[in-house]
Structure 1
Amino acid sequence: MNNHNTYLLKDAINDFLNTYPFIKDKVRENRIKELWEKLMGKMISNHTQALYLRNGVLFIEVNSASLRTELSYAKEKIKNTINSEIGDNSITEVRIK
């Protein structure tokens, strides 16, 4: 194979994800869902009804008003924890519903 014409798979994937940012958000969203219980604990995970990522905003829906209040005070910590775990700063804001 001629090294002059090689294109690394990781570069091809990154180019694809940069071309279609909504897919990039979906990949991140799925990664966050995989990590959610590990990062937030079983109790919070059990009360989480939905997690989704749109344009850098992580939406968290919970089924408990008291938990919603508690999480609203920890939005910055949640953002920083998840960004640190996934290795970038793609989450710019957290909204609790």
Structure 2
Amino acid sequence: MMARNSEEQDIGSVLKAFVKENKLDQGLNHVNVKEVWYSQMGPAIKKYTNTIRLKEDTLIVSLSSSVLREELSYGKEKIIRMLNESLGQDLIKKLILR
């Protein structure tokens, strides 16, 4: 538990310190990656997305359409760049489409 501090602090820095102290980064990153995938890829791809997992720096996405999987595989680098940009950090280094 964080020690009580009498100084005023902005809520953003307090939340960041809480997340870091309680080692919640990985869980929050997983949730953020899912949200960014759905928002950036759109409803058509969301419909065919079964599961999304973030394992270290690799994003593993399971798709129900082999045709869509093939189409997306051509733009993996662009997808990684777009997702990292939306996340505000270089979290994803590799993308695996299954």
Shorter-chain TM-score above 0.5: yes
For 2:57 and 2:93, the matched residues in 1 are separated by: 5
State whether residues 56 and 92 of structure 1, in contact with CA within 8 Å, keep that contact through their aligned partners in structure 2: yes
State whether residues 25 and 54 of structure 1, in contact with CA within 8 Å, keep that contact through their aligned partners in structure 2: no
| Unpaired stretches in structure 1, ≥5 consecutive residues | 18-22
**Deviation for aligned residue 1:2:** 6.2
Runs (4+) of structure 1 exceeding 4 A deviation are none
**Identical aligned residues as a percent:** 27
1:10-47 C-alpha deviation (Å, 9 max, x unpaired): 23422433xxxxx4232112112122232001111100
Of the structure 1 ranges 35-44 and 46-55, higher mean CA displacement relative to structure 2 is found in 35-44
**Deviation for aligned residue 1:57:** 0.1
1:62-90 C-alpha deviation (Å, 9 max, x unpaired): 00110010111111111111100010001
CA RMSD between the two structures: 1.8
- Answering whether residue 70 of structure 2 is matched by residue 69 of structure 1, we say yes
Aligned residues: 88
With the length of structure 1 as denominator, give the TM-score of the two structures: 0.79
Q: CA 1:36 to 1:2, structure 2 compared with 1: closer, same or farther past 3 Å?
A: closer
How do 1:11-22 and structure 2 match up within 5 A?
A: 11-17=17-23
Partner of 1:96: 97
- The amino acid that maps onto 1:14 is K
With the length of structure 2 as denominator, give the TM-score of the two structures: 0.78
For 2:7 and 2:39, the matched residues in 1 are separated by: 44
